[in-house]
Structure formats: C-alpha cells, structure tokens
C-alpha cells in the first residue's frame, strides 16, 4: 500500500542513526537538566547498570528454534517478557528467569499471578492514558497485585510516534520495549521470538489469541530489521550465547 510505503519512507529518511532518531523523538528530556537526571535515575532503578546483558523475549514461534533456556537463565542479567508470555513447558527454549513483565494492559492481556520480585512495565497509548486508568487496568491484570512492589507506566513512546509521524497505529509492546531499552543501555539488546506474525502459528505457546488490527506489522518489521543492521539489537542464538560465555571468561582472566 502507498500509505505503508510512505510511513516506512519517513523512518528511512530520518532514522539514519538509531540513537540520533531517538533523540529527535525526544522520548527523554534534554541533557543537563534536573528532569533528565531524575528520569535517568528512574530508568536505572528499573533496568540497573547500563552495561548488562539484556534479553527481550518475544512470543513468536522462532523462540523455539534454539534450546538455550538454561543459558538464558544463567547468562542474561535481565530478562523482559511480553504480554501473555508463558515459560512452563518451554523452559529449555526460553528459560524461566523473568525480571520485567512488559505489557499493554489491553483487553487481550490475560490476568496472571506475578512474582513479587518482578517489575511491571506498562505501555499505554497517549489518548487513553491517565493515572486512574493505568492503575485500574493494571490491577485488573494482576491476581496478586497487593504483593507487587514496582509498577511503571510510559506513554511517551507512542505519543512521540503520533506527533512526529502522524502515526496512529499502536506500536506493539515488543517494539516499544526495544525502543525504550535501546535508548538506555549502552550494549546491544538481545532479542528472540520477534516474528511479526509471519509464521502460520501466531505464538510459540498457542495459536488461539486473535491478532490486533491496531498494529502496522510491515512498518515494525522494517524498523526491527534496520535495528539489527545497525547493531542496536542482536538475535540471541547458540552462537551468540557462546560469544557471551567467551567474553565473560576473558574478563575473569584479565
């Protein structure tokens, strides 16, 4: 479609350098301000040191292509899982470690009991955002919300896309997570299971959840591939896990 090509062209024209693009998006406040310091401290509280090995686990079937679950639990400093993720029965592929549950608190988000050690990061569209809405919707998705210590909300990423691109398609939770984390961490973000529904099966754990018509998956796939080419993100597989192991052993020797 011409509309899709136009949206992708806007990204290709401005998005020459992912970090420069993020600055143009103005997701974070300007440098050398009290607001920047406060925001950076908040991100540090959520995500920890900037040089960690971070993995975002998408829910696509390609997450089942490598049996690296044990290495994920051992080698990844922080693991972020998306929306209706599942680990039970899939540990040998995706591991079991969960540090952050990123979700859109949408109507298709299935309520779950969350470990009290897990931080919750929600992405809510600008139009529907309010504190009362956020808390009401988030609490309805957490069966044990009284035990949860940390819940964080952001709507800036979606609002900036709407402002700069007149882009009304809601970004997927996975892509918003990538954008936010890549703006914070100094190392590439590892990813698995990002397929943009290109397989015959929608999710690695089932095929029953309907797809949302709010997303422009062709647009997001282009962005994801661009981030891969630029080295902002990397796909985690057996070879990449081996390189992480080798670099950690080298650090110990030095």
Encode pLDDT of 189-228 as tens digits: 999 999 988 887 889 998 666 666 778 888 788 888 888 8
pLDDT, average across residues 141-167: 75
Residue 170 sits in a domain of what CATH number? 3.90.1480
**pLDDT tens-place string over residues 233-253:** 999 999 998 888 655 543 444
| pTM reported for the whole predicted model | 0.82
Q: Give the residues across from 54 on adjacent strands.
A: 78
Q: How many domains does the chain have?
A: 1
Instruction: Tell me the C-alpha to C-alpha distance, in Å, between residue 212 and each of 36, 121, 128, 165, 169.
Output: 34, 20, 17, 21, 10
pLDDT at 3: 38
77 CB-near residues (< 8 Å, 6+ apart): 48, 52, 53, 54
pLDDT digits (tens, 9 = 90+) for 33-73: 555 555 667 778 788 888 999 999 999 999 999 999 999 99
Q: Return the structure tokens found at 246.
A: 């080798």
Q: To the nearest whole number, what is the mean pLDDT of the chain?
A: 78
Determine the structural domain holding residue 57 and report its residue range: 2-253
């Amino acid at each position: 479609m011409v509309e899709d090509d136009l949206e992708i062209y806007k990204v290709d024209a401005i998005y020459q350098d992912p970090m420069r693009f993020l600055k143009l998006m103005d997701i974070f406040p300007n440098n050398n301000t009290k607001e920047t310091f406060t925001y950076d401290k908040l991100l540090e509280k959520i995500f920890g040191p900037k040089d960690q090995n971070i993995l975002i686990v998408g829910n696509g079937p390609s997450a089942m292509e490598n049996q690296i679950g044990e290495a994920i639990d051992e080698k990844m400093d922080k693991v972020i899982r998306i929306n209706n993720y599942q680990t039970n029965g899939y540990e040998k592929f995706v591991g079991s470690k969960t540090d952050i549950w990123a979700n859109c608190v949408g109507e298709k988000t299935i309520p779950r009991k969350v470990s009290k050690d897990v931080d919750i990061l929600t992405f809510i569209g600008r139009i529907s955002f309010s504190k009362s809405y956020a808390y009401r919707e988030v609490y309805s998705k957490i069966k044990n919300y009284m035990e949860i210590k940390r819940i964080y909300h952001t709507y800036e990423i979606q609002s900036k896309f709407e402002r700069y691109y007149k882009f009304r398609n809601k970004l997927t939770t996975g892509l918003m997570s990538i954008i936010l984390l890549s703006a914070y961490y100094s190392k590439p973000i590892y990813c698995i299971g990002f397929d943009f529904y290109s397989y015959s099966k929608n999710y690695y754990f089932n095929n029953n959840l309907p797809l949302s018509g709010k997303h422009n998956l062709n647009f997001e796939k282009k962005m994801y591939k661009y981030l891969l080419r630029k080295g902002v993100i990397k796909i985690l597989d057996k070879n990449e896990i081996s390189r992480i192991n080798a670099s950690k052993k080298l650090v110990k020797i030095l």
